[in-house]
Structure 1
Amino acid sequence: MNQLEQLEHVLQEKGVKYEIIKHEGPIKTAQEGAAFLGIEIGQTAPALVLRAGNEYCALIVSGDRGRVNLEETAALMGYDSLKMASPKQVLQLTGQEVGSVSLMLPLPCIVDRKLFRYPFVYGGTGEPGSTLKISPQALEQLNEVVAYLD
């Protein structure tokens, strides 16, 4: 079962309403995704993998947030500091390439409260040629949410 099939299996099992939108190749930026999908940039929901020493977590952030303050995010999690995980670490932890990381993650998650302004958000499926459309509340069903970014 590939990444997309695994994701769809879990979505169906949990009764989450979703849509998989197919496209040619990866969408690399929030701006590119918003333009392609015809949505507000805030509805894009990139999933970032962060590292604190040997511990990892994920951040699902609204595309209109701009730069994330990693010091504040680290404090929220009780870490001294947080850094972006390397592309190699992301691949090892998730089995996915940076830029296609699924909105369903095997890591503790921080979710941006800004996403809850929208009925639907759009993010990765683990496969570069598709995007997942789900409600922001579904992020809580799919992940171990440990904190919220205000």
Structure 2
Amino acid sequence: MKNIKDILKGNGFSFELIHNDKPIYTAKEGADYFKIDIAQIAPTLIIYTNKGFYVIVISGGRGHVNFKEIKCLLNCKNVRLATKEEVKLITGFSVGNVPMFGISLPYIIDKRLLKVSFVYGGLGEENTTLKVEPDALLKLNNVIGTLD
């Protein structure tokens, strides 16, 4: 994976790397830590379906993953979150540090993230958060679908 900072700069996206002085484990913790709306927090999740693995970047304001919506979007029968072991094996990152960009899997993006000026999510480095324009999620990933 190329350096995400160079990719973001090269594509003209505004971004900021923020070094957290403590680990952030939930969307609520992130919203409280950065003093922002929870809808701007963008957890990156890996899901497994009978068609393979996918990346979902979801709005923290959503509260949960709607597996029924994902099944309809992907036209598949089985959907579940990947296990910690699967996430590490497939992405090379541990749960909680999965980056919003650069994973060679198909992406599903939550449209709610496109309604805010900046989203905050993983960069692939512990205790580091990426603040970035949400359009970068669509332009720099292999997006195969969106969640309403």
TM category (shorter chain) comes to over 0.9
Contact 2:47/2:55 (<8 A) preserved: yes
Is 1:81 matched with 2:90?
no
**Which runs of 5 or more residues in structure 2 are unaligned?**
none
Q: How far apart, CA to CA, are the structure 1 residues paired with 2:41 and 2:64? A: 14
The answer for the alignment partner of 1:130 in structure 2 is 128
Counterpart residue number, 1:103: 100
Aligned counterparts, 1:1-150, within 5 A: 6-53=3-50, 55-104=52-101, 105-150=103-148
1:59-95 per-residue CA deviation (whole Å, 9 max, x = no partner) reads 1100010121112212101211211011111111111
Contact 1:110–1:147 (CA under 8 A) maintained in structure 2 = yes
- 4+ runs deviating over 3 angstroms: none
- Equivalent AA in structure 2 for residue 137 of structure 1: D
TM-score of the pair, normalised by structure 1: 0.91
Residues 50 and 77, structure 2, Cα contact 8 Å, conserved in 1: no
TM-score, normalised via structure 2 length: 0.92
| Deviation digits for residues 102-140 of structure 1 (CA, Å, limit 9, x no counterpart) | 010321111111111101000000112100011111101
